[in-house]
Chain A
Amino acid sequence: MVQAKNSTLEQSFNSIREKAESQLRSFQESHIPKISIGKATCGLAAGAMETHSAFEEALGEQRVEAIIKSVGCIGHCYAEPVVIIDHPDSGFPPIFYPQVTPGKAKMLVKSYLVDGDPLFEHMLGAMEENDTIPFVMDYPRFNQEERIVMEKCGLIDPGDIHEYIAYGGYSSFVKALQLTRQEIIEEVLSSGLRGRGGAGFLTGEKWRLAGNMDSPDKTVICNADEGDPGAYMDRTILESNPHQLLEGLAICAYAIGAKRAIVYIRAEYPLAVETVIKAIKEAEELGILGKNILGTSVDLDVSVFHGSGAFVCGEETALIHSIEGKRGMPRYRPPYPVQEGLMGSPTVINNVKTLSSVPSILKKGAAWYRGIGTEKSPGTAIFSVVGNVLHPGLVEIPMGVTLRKLIFDICGGIPAKKRFKAVQIGGPSGGCLPEDFLDTPIDFDSLTQAGAMMGSGGMVVMDEDTCTVNIARYFLDFTQKESCGKCTFCRIGTWHLLTILDRITKGEGSDGDLERLETLSQDVKGGSLCGLGKTAPNPVLTSLRYFREEYEAHIKEKRCPAGMCRELIAYYIDLEKCSRGCDACVGSCPVEAVFTTKERKKGIDQTLCVKCGECMSACPEEYNAVVKVSPPEKAPIVPRPEATNDKNNGR
């Protein structure tokens, strides 16, 4: 009986797969040039739509035939808009072009597609090994990465289920359908996969607990309520490879015996919502999701819930409340959602990256997965590295790689010959680590030990011009606004922390402020129910621990050593260096604070200045006359000439 069921299952899937494979083969083997444009949110923001229209226009003008393919995001933010051109008849392999503006697009059509010159000066590298063009996998930004979740991101069309299937997609789900539920859970458990949402709970254990619950009405929720203000890997995965997530979701649902699955996506991610809804529809049309999946008796109804933008809804009980139409406030656990979740039924909530890792684990086996990363944290981690690095973007690395390797080797280090100062890991819940920790391996336990945490995977690299007090204040301002207000310590405690930090960054700090910050932080940690409050003081505590002298400079000397806190700095113009007759800074000032002195040089009216630094960037390099000082009293006072005598005053 089981045999018969399995053979019809395989038959129906094989016919889908064969069709998909032949479709892909004929696409790959055709001689028509293929232009892949990265069109996830980040690409669109950088102008991918304009690039797309420029390609279309140029192809029309030059009367060349080519296929323009929309793909997701490859994770190389610094290179957006990214275009990969595969021109089989040119003799060159597919080529990766970064920063393709509309002008560059037109040039590429003319030079490469018409005249056969691939424009070496504009390419980043080739996508395959060859003799003429450097292979991108030889670059550190590529070859140090190990991509499991993001393997196909930016290479396949997220809107085409057939392409995903042709590359082996949904075969793990078909394999899972032929296993028993215990076998799947056992496999995930022994792979050691830990939840990528931040806390690092064993995924297999969560599934086992939910699987053991005796209930006809179970739910799986994919948590895509990514709220960290500097992390966007979940969105990229949803926009670039939605089917991989749906496959993981379907495997989980089958393993725990759920008939309903919900993808909870922030409404601020309209493209991700649209992409996932389309992917669900495609999968249902092929019979891979929905009723009687692939001819079996398995049903799975997948829907999308639009999250309404509340950071605290990343917490699982708060997320459930928001689906139930309530204020998204967390509740006390236990009972855990696996016992009593959505509408009281057992619910498994997994992060996007966790579920997206599942298909590969089933395909290649738990032992393979255990072989990547460290013993206690197997697999890969995805970081969105932003801030002062040369090559910002999404990076997927095996767990256990050191911070130094990630920041300096993979992401190119600090630009403009500045010095590395600190790295903030885990967004608003994480911590700020100094140079001494650069050799810390990245995994759940080492980071927690250092005072930071894996968290959302947001990583901000700071150079010497970034003030750690200011960054701590920034994250606290965020968590304070996002606190749901349920626990007193989180609601009022974070507000007081923020007030103290505000004072310090404005130069109004007083003795005892640091001690107050420390005690209050501990109290907020201890007196809050959910992760938001428990981790909100982390940025303050770690920066206090590692950069105490910076806090002290703010309080005792009223000075911001990094020159970032605006109340503690001043700009002035060095009259020795300022050139007569140059007006560059005058027009740049948004508040007309720059005036002309009697010697026809420039001065800054400190009472009007808003300290935006525009004059400093406007001042021509050969003069370099604008100086930033801290504390502000250091700036020499240049008197403004009397307005009555000079009509052209200030101009």
Chain B
Amino acid sequence: MSDQISTEDKKRIQEEEEAMAHDIAVSLRAFDKERTSLIPILQMIQEKYHYLSLAAIKLVADHLDAAPCEIYGVATFYNQFRFNPPGKHQIKVCLGTACHVKGGGIILENFERKLGIRYGETTPDREFSIDRVACVGCCALAPVAIVDEKVQGHMAPSKVEGLLLGYQIEKDKEERARQKNGSSKE
């Protein structure tokens, strides 16, 4: 994955993380310096920035007076936390029992194949990320995928293609509009 990221992207991510670190340091002050605050703190960071950066983990470790590896050890134990930024469009494929029986694995595989990434990863252009989730509770619609918080029931491989194509078309449209605006200004 990492070799696909250009130096430009790397720089951008670094800048983002620096700005983030400053914000996190401020919000950490609201939490007690006790070990019981650890999971609430990690959840706060994840909710605000959608992932835990290495810098964030170091800050939390400083705040709680623990080793960063200790904090990282706790964070990686739980499924909720992710350590790379999610994509602009988040795809979650349900692999609950009912979805598995009805072929949820095939749907996941199709997303992975079309986007060229595995679950838990983000495309290099940061447009899409794929995650697997346990039952979302609409087993009657199985197999199910959640794309940008919208539940897509009765998924099929052809529907995967359709969904992604829809986003691509929209992106192309935006791109064209931007180019048009740019050229008209010149």
Contact = CB atoms under 8 A, between A and B. Distances in A.
B137 interface: yes
B137 A232 contact: yes
A308 B39 contact: yes
Given A323-B36, A387-B98, A229 B138 contact: no
Contact of B138 (A77, A326, A328): A77
A229 B137 contact: no
B61 interface: no
B109 interface: yes
Interface stretch (A40-48, A52-60, A367-375): A40-48
Contact of A306 (B43, B79, B135, B140): B43
Given A268-B133, A610-B109, A327 B101 contact: no
Nearest to A485: B77
Contacts of A275: none
Nearest to A73: B137
A327 B75 CA distance: 8
Nearest to B94: A229
Given A326-B35, A612-B103, A612-B157, A484 B110 contact: no
Contacts of A617: 156
A325 B37 contact: yes
B137 A325 contact: no
B129 to A, nearest CB: 17
B135 A231 contact: yes
Between B73, B95, B137, the greatest number of chain A beta carbons within 10 A of the residue's beta carbon is seen for B137
Interface in A50-92: 77-78, 80
Interface residues on B, range: 35 or more
B151 interface: yes
Given A80-B140, A326-B35, A392-B139, A427 B97 contact: yes
A617 B158 CA distance: 11
Nearest to A232: B137
A77 B96 CA distance: 15
Interface string A323-335: 1111110000000
A613 interface: yes
A588 interface: yes
B100 interface: yes
Interface string A451-475: 0000000101010001000010010
A77 B158 contact: no
Interface in B80-107: 80-81, 95-98, 100-101, 103, 106
B138 A46 contact: yes
Contacts of A228: 135
Given A268-B133, A326-B74, A42 B35 contact: no
Contacts of B133: 268
A166 B116 CA distance: 56
A46 B141 CA distance: 8
B81 A308 contact: yes
Contact of B40 (A78, A306, A460): A306
Interface in A273-327: 305-306, 308-310, 322-327
B25 interface: no
A590 interface: yes
A45 B141 contact: yes
A386 B98 contact: yes
B48 to A, nearest CB: 14
Contacts of A591: 113
B142 to A, nearest CB: 8
Contacts of B103: 612-613
B35 A614 contact: no
Between B40, B81, B139, the greatest number of chain A beta carbons within 10 A of the residue's beta carbon is seen for B139
B45 interface: no
B97 A45 contact: no
Contacts of A268: 80, 133-134
A212 to B, nearest CB: 27
A462 B78 contact: no
Contacts of A322: 39, 78
Nearest to B81: A308
A617 B103 CA distance: 13
Contact of B79 (A46, A305, A310, A386): A310
A347 B65 CA distance: 28
A307 to B, nearest CB: 8
A232 B78 contact: no
Contacts of B158: 587-588, 590, 614
Between A227, A458, A614, the greatest number of chain B beta carbons within 10 A of the residue's beta carbon is seen for A614
Nearest to B161: A590
A324 B81 contact: no
B160 interface: yes
Nearest to B66: A325
Contacts of B157: 588, 590, 612, 614
B24 interface: no
B96 A229 contact: yes
Contact of B78 (A309, A384, A388): A309
B101 A462 contact: yes
A230 B80 contact: no
Contacts of A613: 103, 106
Interface in A547-569: none
B134 A328 contact: no
A633 B36 CA distance: 59
B136 interface: yes
A227 B134 contact: yes
Contacts of A40: 137
Contact of A466 (B81, B101, B160, B161): B101
Given A328-B77, A590-B157, A614-B157, A41 B98 contact: no
A235 interface: yes
B36 A230 contact: no
A267 interface: yes
Contacts of B135: 228-232
Interface string B26-39: 00000000111111
A460 B134 contact: no
B144 interface: yes
B80 A308 contact: yes
Contacts of B97: 229-230, 386-387, 424, 427, 458, 460, 474
A227 B157 CA distance: 28
Given A46-B140, A613-B103, 7 more contacts: A80-B138, A268-B133, A308-B80, A310-B77, A386-B98, A474-B100, A613-B106
Closest 3 pairs (CB-CB, A-B): A230-B97, A325-B38, A308-B78
30 contacts: A42-B137, A42-B138, A45-B136, A45-B141, A45-B151, A46-B138, A46-B141, A77-B137, A77-B139, A267-B80, A305-B39, A308-B42, A309-B80, A322-B78, A324-B36, A326-B74, A327-B73, A328-B77, A328-B78, A386-B139, A387-B98, A387-B101, A424-B97, A462-B101, A588-B157, A590-B110, A610-B109, A610-B113, A612-B103, A613-B106
Interface of B: 34-40, 42-43, 73-74, 77-81, 95-98, 100-101, 103, 106, 109-110, 113-114, 133-142, 144, 151, 153, 156-158, 160-161
